[in-house]
Every structure is written in C-alpha cells, then in structure tokens.
Amino acid sequence: MHRFCLAEIFSDGMVLQRNEKIRIFGDAPQGDKIRVSLRDTHGNLLDENWGVADENNRFEVRLMPLEASWDDLLAVRNESSGQLLRVENISIGEVWLAGGQSNMEFFNKYEKNWDTTKKLPMNKHIHFYNVPQRAFEGHDTHNGEGRDGYGRWLDDKEEGYENFSAIGYTFARAIQEKLKVPVGIIGCNWGGTTASAWVPESVLDTPELRRYLTEYETEVEKYSEEELRELSLKAWKAVDDPKGYHDFEKFLYGRDRQVQLEELEARKDNPPEMVPMGPYNENRPCGLYETMLKTVIPYSIKGALWYQGESDAGDRAPMYDSLLKGLINSWRDAWNLDLSFLIVQLAPFKEWLDCTNDGYKIVREKQRLVAETMENVYMTAIGDLGEEYDIHPKEKVEIGNRLAGLALCHVYEKVDSRDVENPCISKVTVNSGNIVLEFENAKDLSAKDELDEILIHAKSDDIAVHTYGFEGNKILIKRPDELTEGEVISISIGVDDYGQISIKNENGLPIVPFKMEVVHE
C-alpha cells in the first residue's frame, strides 16, 4: 500500500507563492480523500479544499491565491485513513528557482565576499530550499555529511545556508528588502551539467537537438546493462563519499590556479572514479529533469534564475538558442505558468584546468538572442567579472544583485530599466572623421581600467583600436585611414571567447558584447 505523504519540498519554514493558486501535492493510496486547510498565525482559516488520490497514487489540492503573510499553518488530512500532516512557520510571498550548473550552484562559503555576507544581520523573511541532488531513481543523495541544508527549508543564517547558491541568496536579500514580503529560493542545480539534462525528452526530439539523444545512445551501447549498473554504483560510492566531494569542492572553487594545476597533474596518476554515461549519470539527457526538477513541479513559483551554458559550448554552441528556448517553454508548460526567466550571460575566461573557452562567444550570442526574442526573458551581462584562469567568477554577490535589479524592474516594476539594464549598442555612425558608437541604457560611459579592444572588421583586414574617447552615451573613435568610402565594415567589442569588458555606464554595468555591421559613407 502506498503511504500518505507530502512531496519533499513541503516542510516547516517553506514559502508559498503569493497571488497564484497554491498547489499542495503528494502521495496517497488511490481513492483516498485528502483535505487541505491553511490558517494564519491566529488560527483563522485562509482557505480549505479537498481532492482524491488518482490511479498513480498522487494527489493535488489547490487553494486560492493569497496575499503575503507569515507564520501560517498547513494541515493535510487523509479523511480515508484519519492521518494528519502539519507544516508550520509557513510564509506566503515570492518564490524563485535558481537553476543551472556550477556557477549557479556556487556556494555562499566560496564567494569572494563571504566574510562580509556572513556578518550581515539575519533576515527572518528569506528562506531557502536546496533540491537534493539525485542522479537516478534510488540514488540516496549526493549531499551527505558537510553538505547540510538539502531537502528542507532553511532560514537565513541557519546551518546549511553556507552551502546555498551565493547568487540565489543575494537575489533573495535584495528583492526582499525592496518588496517587503517573504522570499523563498529553490536551489535546483548541479555543477557540470548541460541544459539537456534539465528538459523533457520532447525538447530534444527534434532534428536540431536529437544529437544529444543519439550521442547518449552510442555511449550506452558500450556496456551491457549489468556492466553499466556495476560500474556506475561503484563510482557513485566514491563520488558520494563526503571526504571526496569536500576535496573536490576546494579543488574546483577555493584554490588558486597553481594549486589547481598541481592537483590536476597529480590526478593523472590516480584519476578519480567517473560514472560512465548511462542511466546512472547525472548528465544524461533529461535525467535531472526527472529526478530533481519534477520533484518540485507544480509548486508555484514566480520565475527562474538561470546561469548555465558552459557545458553546451564547443561544437554544440550553435544550437544553444534552440536548447534554451526549449527549456524555457517546457518549464512554463510543466508549471502551466508564464514564468519569468532571468539569464546570466557567460563570463569570459581563458582556460581553467583542462577546460577551454571554445564556443563561448557563440553561447553568449545565443543567450542574448533568446532574451531579445522571447517574452518575459531578461539577461544580465557580466563581461567585467570574468577571470583569466577560472571558469567560476567569484563575485557572485554582484551577479545576484544584477539579477535582482532585472526582477525589480521587469517583474515587479519597482525600478527604472535604465538603472538595471546593461548598456546595449543602438547605433553606429561612420563619417569622414569619426566612428561613433551610441548605446542605450547609458548616460555616462567610462572605463576605469585599460580600455577594451575595439575591432573594426574591414574588407582588407581587422583593425584593432585601443585609443578612443567617451561623450555621454557615445564612444568616439578616430576613423582609421585604411577605410574606404562605401566599404561595408563591422564593429565589435568583447565578442571573442575570452572577451573582457571594462566599459561601463554610470551604474557600473558593463556593455553587452556586440558586433554590428555598418556602411562607411
């Protein structure tokens, strides 16, 4: 007989989305009648409803949309068996999901400003939930000793918040201070994963994206079913060992380049256990959609923060816009909500361990195109935060604040877009004396550090420009003598794989990398 329980995300301290239908779901024996009631801190009934467990032994009960509140109580009673479940200290406010790979997973404790962050006063109205990292059905969890805080809601400063996404944490603090309502962030991320792991199979079953499925099938055919199982479970035993992943975390995030290179060299003689690609690998197509994301669907949320793309660079980069659009549409369909998406454009880096930046400029361009062409999708550029020898920018507080700015502008209409949007190229003018680059979302452009390289792509050659001036929202370049009248040229800044940006507006936001074609008149 199936047991009566709520989905794992329903626990003390949780935050429910305000002004949306509240969806309470879990497991119960087929046909059992489930009654759900929500009361405020004084015991007053806010809403009550009931439902019946279906043939899959699942129930879902919907409560009406409610305004922000806190210290509420949820009671879920199985009228058929008499069992009662209670969830206390519930808030109703704004709920966001923080998704992606290691740059979104990146823990508070490794962030550049952690010493400052941990001294901030406790905010009792922000709460956090890390979805347990489970690679396959039956996987206990990848989050054992020392990775506290997975699978339950945390209050600010509670043990385990140091292991929460630094971007998600900062975002929560920033929007809560402005909105003055409770905020909950659901961390649903895993380092090294491609976006293909976070979507249903229907997204990948297209001519352009089917490559992800065929490559997976090719890898699986290398082993028998039993061999895959034995190899995978043996590897997971080592990967899930707390000592192993603590050392690996520091190897990835907390040590300088020289130490990382030395450890990388040492690992060549004693390579770590690797889970072969197959049904037990966290990075398999559609895997984490099933084992992590679906565990929180249809828990109502406002939107998603998305920082990912590193694992879809290289020769897969040209299809990233289709993959990202598929992910966004599939999540909106799954939740049956027009979720807002706030995307972080990839930061530049040169090389990191044995990883290169091949295809990064293409992924960045695809991210920009998705943000420009899809409704309710917005992007922040971080070309000023990249590190030459690290794929992980350490200033996650800054990134979280930039995403919060986008939310406060476009989702909540609390701030002006000119204060939170990156400067974007709007117009290029070429005349006999100057090339003038004009930008939106800027009143006063400047560059504190060394000037960015501006490339002029002419018929004869690429011309690198390192000397130019600023005038309000314009960059003024002396016209190179090599250009001829009527020649079609293009201008670019920061579009290389390792394209750093130092030009910023008056709000400290870097320009978005661009390449624009223009006729030299």
> What was the pLDDT predicted at 51?
98
Tokens representing residue 452 in the block:
């960015």
Instruction: Please report whether residue 340 resides in a domain.
Output: no
Instruction: Please report whether residue 435 resides in a domain.
Output: yes
Instruction: Please report whether residue 440 resides in a domain.
Output: yes
pLDDT single digits (tens) 77-135: 999 999 999 999 999 999 999 999 999 999 999 999 999 999 999 999 999 999 999 99
The one-character DSSP state at 294 is G
Instruction: Please report whether residue 482 resides in a domain.
Output: yes
The one-character DSSP state at 251 is I
- Burial call 406-418: b when 16+ CB within 10 Å, e when fewer: bbbbbbeeebeee
Instruction: Please report whether residue 497 resides in a domain.
Output: yes
CATH number at residue 462: 2.60.40
User: Pairing between strand 84-100 and 183-189?
Assistant: parallel
pLDDT single digits (tens) 182-224: 999 999 999 999 999 999 999 999 999 999 999 999 999 999 9
> What was the pLDDT predicted at 354?
80
- Give the whole-angstrom CA distance, residue 329 versus residue 240: 33
Give CA separation, 210 vs 196, 203, 291, 308, in Å: 10, 9, 21, 20
Domain hosting 481: range is 424-519
Count of the separate structural domains present in the chain: 1
Q: What is the largest CA-CA distance in the chain?
A: 86
Tokens representing residue 508 in the block:
């400290």
> What was the pLDDT predicted at 461?
82
Instruction: Please report whether residue 33 resides in a domain.
Output: no
Task: Using 70 as the pLDDT threshold, list the residues of the chain that sit under it.
Answer: 1, 254-255, 520-521
Residue type, position 60, single letter? E
Q: What is the pTM of this model?
A: 0.96
Instruction: Please report whether residue 178 resides in a domain.
Output: no
> What was the pLDDT predicted at 76?
98
> What was the pLDDT predicted at 254?
65
Residue whose structure tokens are 């939107």: 303
Contacts of 90 (CB under 8 A, 6+ apart): 12, 13, 14, 15, 16, 38, 70, 71, 72, 73, 74
Instruction: Please report whether residue 309 resides in a domain.
Output: no
